[in-house]
A and B are shown apart, each in its own frame.
Chain A
Amino acid sequence: MRRRSIIFPIIITFVRMSGNRTDFLRDKKILLVDDEPEVLDMIESLLRDEGFSSVTRATTTKESLEQCRLHQPDLAILDVMLPDGDGFSLFKEIRKSLDFPILFLTARDQPDDLLEGLGLGADDYMVKPFLPRELILRIYAILRRSYKADDPLIVLNGCTVDVGRAEAYRNGEIFPLTAKEVKILITLYNSANRIVTIDSICNSVWGDNRYGYENSLMAHICRIREKIEENASSPSVLITVKGLGYKLNISQ
Chain B
Amino acid sequence: MQRRPIIALATLSPFASLLLPGTAQAASVGQPAPDFTLMDTAGKPVKLSQFKGKPVVLEWNNPGCPFVKKHYQGNMQALQKEVTAQGAIWLAINSTRDDSVDHMAPAQLGRWMTEQRASPTAALLDEDGKVGQAYAARVTPHMFIVNAQGVLVYAGGIDSIASARADDIPKATNYVRQAMAEIQAGKPVSVANSRAYGCSVKYQPA
Is chain B found bound to chain A in the same assembly? no
